[in-house]
Structure formats: C-alpha cells, structure tokens
Amino acid sequence: MSSCCEPQGYDRVFTAGVARRDAARYRRSGLTRDPRRVVELYRSGAIDGESVLDVGAGIGDLGLELLRAGASHVTAVDLSPGYDDAAATLLAEAGLAGRVQRAVGDLAARPDLAAPADVVALMKVVCCYADADRLLTVAAGHARRHLVLSYPRDTWWLRLFARATTVAARWRRTDWGFVVHPERALLAALEREGLHLTHRERTGAFTLAVLTRTRV
C-alpha cells in the first residue's frame, strides 16, 4: 500500500508491458550500459559475499548479474509493482529466486522496506525522483560500504527533455517526470552521510559514480 507521502502514478508509467519489453531486451542483449559498467567495476571478487540493495530495480537485471558475479543476496525495491512478474520469471530462469527479496514502495518514505546492505545501487533513479536529497539521504543510510549512482548530465538538451516530461506527467496524472539534478547537490547529500567519491565516469548522457563509506 502506498502512503500519502509516496510518489503516485508510477504504476501507470512503468507497467507490466514495459517490464516485458525490458525483460525481452535483457534476454536478447544483456545489461544496458550503466548496469553493465557496475558489474564490470565489481568483478575480480570485489563483491564476493556482499549484500546488495537495488533501489529502483525494475526487472532486477542488475541484481541478477551481481549475484552471478558473487554477491550473496539482493533486495530489490521499486515504486511500481508492474515489474514483479517479469522479475520473478527472470530469476526463476536463472535459478536464483531464493536469493532475491522484492519490495514495492518508496524507500525515501519507508526506510524499513529494506535492511542495510554492503552495496546500494541507484541506476537512473534520481532522474525520476523530485526530492533527490531525501532519497539519497535514506539510501546512504542503508549503505554499509558503497553506493553506486547514475544520474543525467546537466546539459541544456536534457533540461529541455525534463521540461517536456513535466507536461506529459500532468497529462497522464502521475507524479513521474524526468529531473536533472545538479551533480554538486547529489554528491553533497551523500557526503553528508559519510560517503566520499571514489570513482566517476561519463556514460553517454549519464554519469556513473561510486561512493565509499568513510572509515572512522
């Protein structure tokens, strides 16, 4: 059940039909660029035995590949229930269903949806969430070791696209919209929670960043 504080209407944008198309694409060609780079960064035993919290998990393809790379367990959280059936089918096909727990809801509004994990991932999530500071503060609080984040570059053409999605969201009566948050504000929110930037790279229209928990 959604709370009054959670974004509304995401299930009308991220539907079961979208999930089926995403699953078909994944079966055909594997991970998209940003999730693929995350798996590459955690190769060579770097994620062996680690737990993962995948926020905005969609069909759960990133979590599935991180399990194959050595992760012990994945918790997948998404605002839309439309992904659940496709995600369950992919996990069953891979024989990994027992190592993934899925939850539907807004982690920023309901932090108890997931326990802390060694690695927290937010792939193209903050660009779909208006209050990025709130979401990242909660996500950082769940990250024991690393937080992996992808976000759109602050360019004029992405800002133009964001304005167009705002109009479309009003027409569709949903809170969803594409948002370009300033990079400085995103990283500052995570740094306030004891994480510091250890890797950053440009991935087309997006930036991929890895932040690491500061050891006291």
Residues 62, 123 contacting (CB under 8 angstroms): yes
Residue 5 lies inside a defined structural domain of this protein? no
pLDDT tens, residue by residue, 20-63: 999 999 999 999 999 999 999 988 778 999 999 999 999 999 99
Residue 66 lies inside a defined structural domain of this protein? yes
pLDDT tens, residue by residue, 109-120: 999 999 999 999
Residue 174 lies inside a defined structural domain of this protein? yes
Q: Report the C-alpha gap between 82 and 25 in whole angstroms.
A: 16
Q: Report the C-alpha gap between 167 and 176 in whole angstroms.
A: 10
Q: Is it the case that residue 216 has pLDDT exceeding 80?
A: no
Full domain range(s) for residue 172:
10-213
Confidence label for 3 from pLDDT (cuts 50, 70 and 90): very low
Residues 175, 125 contacting (CB under 8 angstroms): no
Q: Is it the case that residue 152 has pLDDT exceeding 50?
A: yes
Which range has highest mean pLDDT (39-43, 76-80, 134-138)? 134-138
The sheet with strand 143-152 has its strands ordered as 100-104, 73-78, 51-55, 117-122, 143-152, 206-213, 195-203
CATH classification of the domain holding 194: 3.40.50.150
Confidence label for 1 from pLDDT (cuts 50, 70 and 90): very low
Q: Is it the case that residue 165 has pLDDT exceeding 70?
A: no
Number of domain units in the chain? 1
Q: What is the pLDDT of residue 6?
A: 55
Residue 4 lies inside a defined structural domain of this protein? no
Residue 147 lies inside a defined structural domain of this protein? yes
